[in-house]
A and B are shown apart, each in its own frame.
Chain A
Amino acid sequence: MGSPRRDADAGVVRARLLVIAMLAGILSVGGAQTAAHGETAKPVPVGPTGAMWSNLKDNAAYLDAFAGEQNRRHVEAESASIPPELKVVQVQRALMCDTNSAIPTTPLNGPCPEASGTVGLNYCDGAEPVLPLWRRTRATPADPWNPWVLAAYGGCPADLLPTMSVEDFRRLPLPAPAWHMQPNKDWVLVNMETIVYSTDTPQQLRTDLLGYGVDVIATPERYVWDFGDDSKPLSTHRQGHPWPGFDLFHVYEQAGTGTITATTIWSGRYRVDGDTQWHDILGTAETTATSAPFDIVERRAHLVATDCLTDPTQADC
């Protein structure tokens, strides 16, 4: 399920960087027998301060605006079939009077007192701000309405749309890794390069989030191959290439039987219907695929009189 948007303040940017750095730290492993070049995680400096101003922070304004909008939609849907004279709750967006009064009010309650406050509109990067949300109730349809009460502060249009969480992203039907190995047979050679490479491509998906349609683009960001022996998995941003221009490979040192498990780590971006902006998903998803078992065999070179393809019946072919 989605959650209120929280990707627009500096604290969240820091959080995102931290998540990315942590993932980089987890995934940056390599083995002596496994080749990929140059990716290391830098340590993330996070110093304890105890002064709460320096903690990472949520965006309470967005959480407020989102919750208010969800409730507004809910109330309007619930009361759509109720005649106005029978309603006991109403919600409406309206201006807030510019006053320093402890109790905010709106022109819905009558003319505003003389302006004395600092009420301003939200700045929405060119978009029309969403006005504060007001709610009024009455005990029964026979009672008079209570005054309109501020329910949520409003915000920007994008604040009212749901956020795709990484959990939402991981529930999408992302494809298994498209990857290949060479030799592409049921055997590979000891002490020779077993080549791997990926042909994953960005995926476009369509899903639903809290009643909103959402476009998602999943992009393969990292590839991990576990060769099933004692070596560390090969983890890289590269897709690799087939022979002869290969750059990702593993050398098995022992004969036997092996399998290779490929993992693709996907980043995601999404755009909610009604929003013009794409947003990054905070976190990644993984898909895996394991090869069929193959033999790891030793081959010896022999001198033969003629090419074995020409005469496979000769000795040592």
Chain B
Amino acid sequence: MYFQRLYPYVYATGDISEWKTLTDPDCIFCHSVLSEVAQLEQVGQRMRGGLITASDVTALEPDPGHVFHVTFHVEVEPTELLDTTGAVIQSNPASVGTIDTIVIWEDGTWVVRGVTPTQAS
């Protein structure tokens, strides 16, 4: 859940320190977020909104005590891309879908290993 709260925070602030701590280097989704945020930083843009509400959480343990597969339904608030002056240059409407997250518990810490967001059609 914290991970999903962190997602809009990273886009809004460009602060990636916590995101990097929480994610596995092999996580493709996690890395793509870092790339996009770096691009935003480069051109001075920010993303606003996009808060995520999660529900219907289910969890499996493919590898008990080590690998967890957490699935939840999410509602994502609209997002706006802002330029350096704060003007809106792109808007994304609210959306819903499911997120499959593979989380690993290793050496006393949680790490996100993989994320599969699937938008509801």
A residues contacting B by CB (< 8 A) are: 3, 6, 11-12, 15, 46-53, 55-61, 63-68, 70-71, 102, 133, 135, 150-153, 165
Chain A residues, CB < 8 A from B13: none
Q: How far is the CA of A12 from the CA of B35 in the complex (A)?
A: 15
Q: Are B36 and A58 in contact (CB under 8 A)?
A: no
Chain A residues, CB < 8 A from B50: 50-52
Q: Is B27 an interface residue (CB 8 A)?
A: yes
Minimal beta-carbon separation of B50 from chain A (angstroms): 6
Closest B residue to A165 by CB, please name it.
Answer: B26
Chain B residues, CB < 8 A from A58: 27-29, 102, 113-116
Chain B residues, CB < 8 A from A15: 28, 32
Q: How far is the CA of A293 from the CA of B84 in the complex (A)?
A: 54
Q: How far is the CA of A153 from the CA of B79 in the complex (A)?
A: 33
Of B76, B113, B116, the residue contacting A57 (CB under 8 A) is B116
Q: How far is the CA of A133 from the CA of B45 in the complex (A)?
A: 46
Query: 16 additional contacts, CB 8 Å, given A55-B33, A60-B69, A135-B61?
Result: A11-B29, A15-B28, A50-B36, A51-B95, A52-B7, A53-B118, A56-B31, A58-B29, A59-B114, A60-B101, A60-B114, A63-B69, A67-B66, A71-B67, A152-B69, A165-B26
Most buried by A among B26, B45, B58, B99: B26
Chain A residues, CB < 8 A from B100: 60-61, 64
Closest A residue to B26 by CB, please name it.
Answer: A3
Q: Given contacts A51-B95, A53-B119, A61-B116, are A151 and B26 in contact (CB under 8 A)?
A: no
Number of B residues contacting the other chain (C-beta, 8 Å)?
Answer: 45
Q: Is B40 an interface residue (CB 8 A)?
A: yes
Q: Are A53 and B114 in contact (CB under 8 A)?
A: no
Chain B residues, CB < 8 A from A53: 95, 97, 117-119
Q: How far is the CA of A36 from the CA of B118 in the complex (A)?
A: 45
Closest A residue to B47 by CB, please name it.
Answer: A50
Q: Is B1 an interface residue (CB 8 A)?
A: no
Q: Is B11 an interface residue (CB 8 A)?
A: yes
Q: Is B108 an interface residue (CB 8 A)?
A: no
Q: Is B53 an interface residue (CB 8 A)?
A: no
Q: Is B86 an interface residue (CB 8 A)?
A: no
Of B29, B36, B102, B117, the residue contacting A48 (CB under 8 A) is B36
Q: How far is the CA of A102 from the CA of B71 in the complex (A)?
A: 12
Q: How far is the CA of A67 from the CA of B117 in the complex (A)?
A: 19
Chain A residues, CB < 8 A from B81: 48-50
Q: How far is the CA of A63 from the CA of B31 in the complex (A)?
A: 17
Q: Given contacts A51-B79, A151-B62, are A64 and B69 in contact (CB under 8 A)?
A: yes
Most buried by B among A46, A60, A150, A152: A60
Closest B residue to A3 by CB, please name it.
Answer: B26
Q: How far is the CA of A307 from the CA of B76 in the complex (A)?
A: 85
Chain B residues, CB < 8 A from A64: 60, 62, 67, 69, 100, 102
Of A11, A56, A151, the residue contacting B60 (CB under 8 A) is A151
